[in-house]
Structures are given as structure tokens and as C-alpha cells.
Amino acid sequence: MKTFTELMDNLVELTVGTREKKTSGEKQAAKAEYRKNKIKIKARNKKYQRSAGAKLLAKKSERMKKMGKTATGRDITVAGGSGAAQRAKEKKKELQKR
């Protein structure tokens, strides 16, 4: 059975070991790979970024919805087709309740 100090000495020898030297070509290749990967990650995450204007419109849409309007001030419409008049009437009633 090893003593604690012997065990620590063995662990230090294992972890401190010599480091492999990289050539300048390997360093450059690693840098280029990192840059490529960084660009891909930014492109992938770009779709989740929202502009300040979009955030403001999202807040404004909640207030304007009570008046039956979109965030940009247009009236909220119902889908066309059969039964559109009935849906419009129901929408109007719903807005009057608020």
C-alpha cells in the first residue's frame, strides 16, 4: 500500500509530463479551424438575435391587441373565405368586451 505522499508524487509525475511542441504549420491550421468554426457558430445563432425595434414592437403588440390593431397600427383582420363575416362579427364582439 502506497503512502499518501508517494501517491501524490506519482500523480504529479503523470500530470506534469512534457508537453508536445506544435509546429508553426499546426498552429496556423488550428487558428484557421477556430476561425471557421467561430463564423459557423455566429451564423447559426444569428437567427435567434432580435433587433431592438422588434422587441419594442412585441411589447407594443400586446397593448394594441386590446384595440384590435397590430403593433404597426393596422386593424387585425380575420381570414377570408366562407364564414369570414361571422368571424369578423365575433372578433368585434370580443374586442368590445375588453
Q: Mapping DSSP to helix (H, G, I), strand (E, B) and coil, where does residue 27 land? A: helix
Q: What is the pLDDT of residues 29-76, one digit of tens each?
A: 999 999 989 988 898 888 888 889 989 999 999 888 888 888 888 887
Domain-embedded: residue 5 = no
> Is pLDDT above 80 for 12?
no
Domain-embedded: residue 13 = no
- 65 in Cβ contact with 91 (< 8 Å): no
Give every CB contact of residue 66 below 8 A, 6+ residues apart in sequence: 95, 98
Domain-embedded: residue 33 = yes
Domain-embedded: residue 47 = yes
Domain-embedded: residue 59 = yes
Please state the pTM of the whole predicted model. Answer: 0.39
How many domains, the chain?
1
The domain containing residue 50 runs over which residues?
23-97
Query: Which pLDDT score, from 0 to 100, does residue 17 have?
Result: 62
DSSP assignment of 35-60: HHHHHHHHHHHGGG---HHHHHHHHH
Domain-embedded: residue 11 = no
What is the spatial distance between Cα 97 and Cα 90, in angstroms, rounded to a whole number?
11
Domain-embedded: residue 53 = yes
